Amino acid sequence: YNGQKGIITRVRGRGQFRKRIIEMGFIRGKTVTVIKNAPLKDPVEYRLMGYNVSLRRSEAAMIDVEAPPQVDASMQVDYAATRFMHRNRRRMRGNKGGPSDGKPDVHHPFPHPHAGTVVRVAMVGNPNCGKTTIFNFASGARERVGNYGGVTVRAKEGRFSRNGVTFIITDLPGTYSITEYSPEELFVRNHLIDNRPDVVINVIDATNLERNLYLTTQLIDMNVKVVVALNMHDEMEERSDSFDYTALGEMLGIPFIPTVGTEGIGILDLFDTVAAVLEKSDRHARDIRINYGPDIERAIDALLTELAQYAPINGVISPRFAAIKLIERDTAMKTFVSAGGGKGEETVRLADILIREIEEELGEDIETLMADARYGFIAGALKETFRPAARPTTTLSEKIDGIITHQFMGFPIFLFFMWLTFQLTFSLGQYPMDWIEGGIGHIARFITYAMSPGLLREILVDGILAGAGGVIVFLPNILILFFMISLMEDTGYMARAAFIMDRLMHAIGLHGKSFIPLVMGFGCNVPAIMATRTLESRKERILTMLIIPFMSCSARLPVFVLFIGVFFPEHAGSMLFALYLGGVAVAVVSATVIKKIFFRSSEAPFVMELPPYRTPRLRNSLRHMWDRGNEYLKKIGGIVLIASIIIWSLGRFPDNVEFSKDYDALAAKARDRIISDETTRAPGEGKS
């Protein structure tokens, strides 16, 4: 029931899904709270580590919990981690002097790389951490910003110059870890290994430190140069949380820079620090190791001895990181190490033996042990540096969510937002459509009067203006549609739509997150199909890709508007909504049939973060709207323009050739001939 709390005692099951929920914080000793059920009672929203996540009931049943008073051992990991961090702080005090007093850093001028130097930077972070917003601000790029997981479906590259240094920035997909659970996670890890950026910027959400720092611990294991962008720092200050990020930076050997990506605050300091880390002049940057406990550390050391004799790994990847991944049963790392045969295969077999010994000795599976160690490390660090302020019983975001995802009002509100989107697309778009249509008419008349008759005038008036002009008139509809979709994405409502729709999507074999690329398909099928990469299951990706074309994309909107304007002018908005809804219905039927034929036995789990509601930035929404509109204009200036000229040419040439006949005129002429013949015959002619 809502508000029920429990302490996690065990996570049952095996496989990638289990790894994912463990990495997201479902580990022994953590408190989990039931927030609410979806309108159709499945999935269920839970609160864990300060953030909200949704699970289906069947998946939540694999997590064993006990009432809080019954679990006294829940703090053992935290205390162990705290002792570990105390030891490290004492060591640092001996080497570095006293800890920070908690005041914001005063950024003195850093020695920068020489002018003309090119610095390669990779940006990584969890979904919804604001990573792409920082990337956009720094590079001036126009990558899509959205408040739900999986917006960035491929790496984007941009450039930023400061003090004569050029930073080549790669915005990598948002990911919770760098294991092999999803294609994005494996892509991020492979990029860091194969491309070896000079510095990695790890963007974390300042309002959700514990979960975001899990990825940071994995970057520490990779032994790469890291700078942490403590993004959304303004929200942390509004909550009055006390966070000594300078001291945490000393503990982790990583500089922390507060940023507010939406306002561009701290971006210059961030890249100054990147330059300082590269020049080894930042006082925080140093190498540390996360201690996984004596048993696991002995196994890591044994693997390091073997890997030291394995040439293919030297200079390519951190041996300690490779050893840790082998201990974690990482399939991709096993394949990489064993690819060389001989010594590599022996190392993989040794890892399997060591894993069995550890699990028998400690009575727990290796995935849980590794996650416990990492989260214990994080908890110990935050115990000394972070003090959360008192929270209100119910936040504004939770109050809004209680209405938006209400058991009875959730679906009507969802349908209303969808209907409103299409109604505004048509009704508001009609006014600028009329203006554009009138303007094109004036231009056509001006050309007709200003130019003498000829082929050029015909091409301009009857070819280009009639063809491309007939398509550009629908630009306002495209802009309004994308603006509305952008608002729903940036506020966080799109993630709630997936939460609401999961029960229905599950009935046809899809994940609630499949709803996101399906909705994107209303804008354009191409990026929607690309967005299916965010789905963990291969079956999910294939099935979603197959039904996305049934979503009526923006290219079909002009055709819909044309027919609706002719046949249903009195109910234009409602008919447009009905056409889109009809496409969805066909997609549902198709997905059901495909699932029963090709994917009968597969099942997709539902694990999705529900980010807090945030006020959308008008600048971001307008930017996204214009970017999509600009793509539409480019199509008009390219494909549509050429097609218009070709179609006009096919109707215009060859000249002076008659391809049709006026059968009414021919019939009239024949009738006149018959009548004329009858009147000219003699009166007695034809009588016997």
CB atoms within 10 A of CB 39: 20
For residue 220, which of 289, 307, 298, 275 has the smallest C-alpha distance? 289
Do 119 and 224 have their domain in common?
A: yes
Residue 402 lies in a domain: no
Residue 151 sits at the vertex; the CA angle it makes with 374 and 56, to the nearest 5 degrees, is 65
Mean pLDDT over each residue of the chain, to the nearest integer: 78
Do 370 and 463 have their domain in common?
A: no
**Distance of alpha carbon 478 from alpha carbon 77, whole angstroms:** 53
Do 270 and 317 have their domain in common?
A: no
Identify the pLDDT of residue 298.
92
Residue 385 lies in a domain: no
Residues 6+ apart with CB under 8 A from 412: none
**Distance of alpha carbon 95 from alpha carbon 91, whole angstroms:** 6
Residue 215 forms beta bridges with which residues? none
Give the domain-ending residue among 278, 311, 338.
278
Higher pLDDT, 674 or 230: 230
Mean pLDDT computed over 169-187: 82
- CATH code of 63's domain: 2.30.30.90
pLDDT band at 75 (very low <50, low <70, confident <90, very high): very low
Higher pLDDT, 152 or 320: 320
**Is the predicted pLDDT of residue 147 greater than 90, yes or no?**
no
Do 422 and 489 have their domain in common?
A: yes
User: Domain range spanning residue 572?
Assistant: 410-620
Identify the pLDDT of residue 669.
78
Mean pLDDT computed over 620-635: 75
Do 519 and 561 have their domain in common?
A: yes
Residue 283 lies in a domain: no
Which two tokens mark 380? Answer: 């110990």
Residue 230 lies in a domain: yes
Least confidently predicted of 9-13, 109-113, 537-541, 578-582: 109-113
Residue 45 forms beta bridges with which residues? 36, 54
Which two tokens mark 340? Answer: 């060389």
> DSSP string covering 99-112, please?
PP-SPPP--PPPPP
Report pLDDT digits (tens) over 318-341: 888 989 999 988 888 888 888 766
Mean pLDDT computed over 57-81: 63
**Distance of alpha carbon 289 from alpha carbon 373, whole angstroms:** 12
Q: What b/e sequence results for 95-112 when a residue is b if at least 16 CB atoms lie within 10 Å of its CB, and e otherwise?
A: eeeebbeeeebeeeebeb
> DSSP string covering 114-147, please?
PTT-EEEEEEEE-TTSSHHHHHHHHH-------S
CA distances from 549 to 492, 540, 552, 556, 613 (A): 25, 15, 7, 11, 30
Least confidently predicted of 66-75, 197-206, 412-421: 66-75
- CATH code of 349's domain: 1.10.287.1770
Do 21 and 149 have their domain in common?
A: no
pLDDT band at 60 (very low <50, low <70, confident <90, very high): confident
Do 265 and 167 have their domain in common?
A: yes
Residue 556 lies in a domain: yes
Identify the pLDDT of residue 354.
92
From the centroid of its chain, how far is CA 515? 13
pLDDT band at 655 (very low <50, low <70, confident <90, very high): low
pLDDT band at 230 (very low <50, low <70, confident <90, very high): very high
Identify the pLDDT of residue 90.
38
User: What is the gyration radius of the CA atoms in the chain, in angstroms?
Assistant: 32
Do the bridges between strand 5-11 and strand 63-66 make them parallel or antiparallel, or are there none, so unpaired? antiparallel
**Distance of alpha carbon 230 from alpha carbon 385, whole angstroms:** 14
Give the domain-ending residue among 249, 278, 307.
278
Residue 390 lies in a domain: no
Report pLDDT digits (tens) over 425-483: 778 888 888 898 888 888 888 888 888 887 788 888 888 777 777 777 777 877 887 78
**Distance of alpha carbon 465 from alpha carbon 277, whole angstroms:** 57
Do 550 and 491 have their domain in common?
A: yes
- Classify burial at 16, counting beta carbons within 10 Å of its beta carbon; exposed 0-12, middle 13-18, buried 19 or more: middle
Report pLDDT digits (tens) over 193-222: 888 899 999 999 988 888 899 999 999 998
**Is the predicted pLDDT of residue 104 greater than 50, yes or no?**
no
- What backbone phi and psi angles, to 5 degrees, belong to 646? -65, -45
Mean pLDDT computed over 679-684: 62
- CATH code of 126's domain: 3.40.50.300
pLDDT band at 227 (very low <50, low <70, confident <90, very high): very high
Mean pLDDT computed over 524-538: 65
Residue 626 lies in a domain: no
Do 445 and 580 have their domain in common?
A: yes
For residue 459, which of 444, 474, 472, 449 has the smallest C-alpha distance? 444
Looking at the structure of the chain, the number of domains it has is 4
pLDDT band at 115 (very low <50, low <70, confident <90, very high): low
Identify the pLDDT of residue 82.
41
- First-residue to last-residue Cα distance in the chain: 108
Give the domain-ending residue among 573, 604, 620.
620
Identify the pLDDT of residue 155.
73
Do 158 and 250 have their domain in common?
A: yes
Least confidently predicted of 229-243, 248-262, 407-421, 462-476: 462-476
Do 111 and 50 have their domain in common?
A: no
**Is the predicted pLDDT of residue 545 greater than 50, yes or no?**
yes
Do 250 and 342 have their domain in common?
A: no
Residue 199 lies in a domain: yes
